[in-house]
A and B are shown apart, each in its own frame.
Chain A
Amino acid sequence: MNKELLSSELLKIKRKGFWLLTVLGPFGVVALQMMNYAYRKEYLLKQSTNDWEYYILNVSGFTPFALVLGMVILTSFLTSIENETNTWKKLISLPVSKASVYITKFTLLASLLFLSSVLLMLFTLLYGIFLDFNGEILHVTLFQYSFYPYFASLPVLALQLWISTVSKNQAVPITIGVIGVILVLTNSYSPFPDWIIWKWPSLMNQWDKPIINVVLGIIVGCLIYIVGMLDFIRRDVK
């Protein structure tokens, strides 16, 4: 990847609402708990002995959903910028390798979503402090629930990018994206088998070790990324 390509990508997403979505996602997740705690704080505090832990778990309930939805929306936005007047053909006829074009798109999306995760941690922490819980702030738990889902959902991001860039019909990536979001939602009611990648952001697995989802997410994410990139390079430009 080169710096110039990334800075030209940043220019392209101007006025398209990418930054707004990046902030809105994590804010929405915490805002749900704002409503929750504003209406029934007394009741919620009685539910557990560790207020911070219970609060963080509450926040994290919506994180996988927001994250995967964010991935679907941002990816489809980003590819729609090139599809709108088919700027792919102009982009690829410039002196750049197709691999670097693909990696730049992925890097941009991964960075925006990482920023969302940082903001999620920040918003969670700030509202937590505002709620003035008894007991110490659980920094490690807060860190885990802010960033583990991000790494665990990288395979979804790699898959969405692959399908969006090679599909002639954008209904395909959007349909798969929507199905993915539905899977993430239903997973919280009746968990799926561990091999389904849309389960991973929930950090659930049969061994009860969230770190497994993180490691799997990074490895499988890289694999899908590589397959997607090779396919993108192999194909003729639309």
Chain B
Amino acid sequence: MEYVVETKNLTKQFGEQKAVSSLNVTIPRGEIYGFLGPNGSGKTTTIRMLLGLMKPTSGTIHVFHKDLKKDRIHILKRIGSLVENPSYYPHLTAYENLEVWRKILGVPKEKIHEVLQIVQLSEVTNKKVKGFSLGMKQRLGIAASLLNDPELLILDEPTNGLDPSGIIEIRNLMKQLASESGMTILISSHLLSEVEQIATRVGIISKGKMLFQDSMDKLRELSKPNIALRISDAKKALRFIVSKGIEADYRDDHIFIPNHSDEDVAELVQQLVYHNFLIYRVEGKKRSLEDIFLQITQEERLV
């Protein structure tokens, strides 16, 4: 597989504390990579290292098959980025802000109107950014990151502080960019739900360590449904089920058993009925991805 970004044992240490430790991030071309983790897990530090803003304590970073240490400027020409809070010059207009970056990137002036159009800020082209709402500033930041038609777009918490409609807007924009121009996108977030619908690949990080990195489909597989039973005299029923050698637990008035084949479930229900338990409900209950995400990151916290 062709990786646009590949880090090996990437580590960043601040004093005694390891903010990022032995991270192996791999992002294949054309994917939308959801980089997930709780606040303070090392996402931003990793992204800063990918952009050459911070030097790794150890480990290597390859972007477009080139060593970031040696070819930083060549690599950055092909990257667009938005790191944490939007960066802008409040005393300049939206157009002038983009012009500042455009000059450095050396792209034609028409690009400015084009990217303002994409993020729907054309109407405020000549207004000072000082008066913009947070959502508009964030969109201006995204516009700036698109100026050089990047092959790799790196967005650190782009939906932070946005209202729901703003979040949806940015989500649609990401989808559109990925499908129309084949851009590879790295998008970090502390909420799985934010990237769930667009990410094709996920990396989950906590305390600087990668806990899960695979396709979104693999993560979904982890959320296979459980069978939930609501039965009269639940405690006795639970003992009965466990005595049959079936894994089960009781919470919220329901008895949960792992997913089984239809035959097994039918057999169990039959047994329960035979032993005079009253069965009110038999349901397939899906664990939400959010639950899995929480579980993955919390297991690490307990260790």
Task: Knowing A11-B92, A11-B96, A236-B48, say if A89 contacts B105 (CB, 8 Å).
Answer: no
Task: Knowing A12-B92, A15-B91, say if A92 contacts B99 (CB, 8 Å).
Answer: no
- Which of A's residues lie within 8 Å of B, judged by CB? 4-5, 7-8, 11-12, 14-16, 81, 84-87, 89-97, 236-237
Minimum CB–CB distance from B201 to chain A (whole Å) comes to 23
- Which residues of the other chain, A, contact B96 by a CB distance below 8 angstroms? 11, 14
Contacting pair A93 B106 (CB below 8 A):
no
- How many chain B residues touch A (Cβ–Cβ < 8 Å)? 31
B103 interface residue (CB < 8 Å to A): yes
Secondary structure call for the B interface: loop
B100 interface residue (CB < 8 Å to A): yes
Interface residues of B in 1-60 (CB under 8 A from A): 48, 51-55
CA distance A92 to B90 in the complex (A): 19
Task: Knowing A11-B100, A85-B86, A85-B87, say if A95 contacts B76 (CB, 8 Å).
Answer: yes
Task: Knowing A8-B100, A8-B103, A12-B100, say if A92 contacts B89 (CB, 8 Å).
Answer: no
Task: Knowing A90-B101, A236-B55, say if A14 contacts B85 (CB, 8 Å).
Answer: no
Minimum CB–CB distance from B11 to chain A (whole Å) comes to 14
Minimum CB–CB distance from B17 to chain A (whole Å) comes to 15
Name, among B54, B77, B91, the residue most crowded by chain A CB atoms within 10 Å (CB to CB): B91
B231 interface residue (CB < 8 Å to A): no
Name, among B54, B86, B89, B90, the residue most crowded by chain A CB atoms within 10 Å (CB to CB): B89
Some 25 contacts from A to B, beta carbons below 8 A apart, are: A8-B104, A11-B96, A11-B100, A14-B96, A16-B91, A81-B89, A85-B85, A85-B87, A86-B85, A89-B53, A89-B83, A90-B101, A92-B51, A92-B52, A92-B53, A93-B52, A93-B53, A93-B81, A94-B76, A94-B101, A95-B73, A95-B76, A95-B105, A96-B73, A97-B73
B88 interface residue (CB < 8 Å to A): yes
CA distance A14 to B106 in the complex (A): 20
- Which of B's residues lie within 8 Å of A, judged by CB? 48, 51-55, 73-74, 76-77, 79, 81, 83-92, 96, 99-101, 103-106, 144
Minimum CB–CB distance from B160 to chain A (whole Å) comes to 14
CA distance A11 to B98 in the complex (A): 11
Contacting pair B99 A11 (CB below 8 A):
yes
Minimum CB–CB distance from B48 to chain A (whole Å) comes to 7
Task: Knowing A4-B103, A11-B92, A92-B53, say if A86 contacts B87 (CB, 8 Å).
Answer: yes
Contacting pair A4 B83 (CB below 8 A):
no
Contacting pair B54 A4 (CB below 8 A):
no
CA distance A14 to B90 in the complex (A): 11
CA distance A92 to B86 in the complex (A): 14
Contacting pair A84 B90 (CB below 8 A):
yes
- Which residues of the other chain, B, contact A96 by a CB distance below 8 angstroms? 73, 104
Contacting pair A94 B48 (CB below 8 A):
no
Contacting pair A12 B89 (CB below 8 A):
yes
Contacting pair B73 A90 (CB below 8 A):
no
Query: What is the chain A residue whose CB lies nearest that of B81?
Result: A93
CA distance A51 to B96 in the complex (A): 50
CA distance A85 to B54 in the complex (A): 18
Task: Knowing A89-B53, A94-B104, say if A14 contacts B92 (CB, 8 Å).
Answer: yes
Q: Which 10 pairs of residues, A with B, have the shortest CB-CB distance? A: A90-B87, A8-B103, A237-B53, A93-B51, A95-B76, A236-B54, A87-B87, A95-B77, A4-B103, A95-B73
- Which residues of the other chain, A, contact B105 by a CB distance below 8 angstroms? 94-95
Other than the known A90-B101, A94-B76, A94-B105, what 11 A-B pairs have Cβ atoms closer than 8 Å?
Answer: A4-B104, A4-B106, A11-B92, A11-B96, A15-B92, A84-B90, A85-B86, A87-B89, A93-B53, A95-B74, A97-B73
CA distance A93 to B55 in the complex (A): 13
- Which residues of the other chain, B, contact A93 by a CB distance below 8 angstroms? 51-53, 76, 79, 81, 83
Name, among A7, A87, A94, A96, the residue most crowded by chain B CB atoms within 10 Å (CB to CB): A94
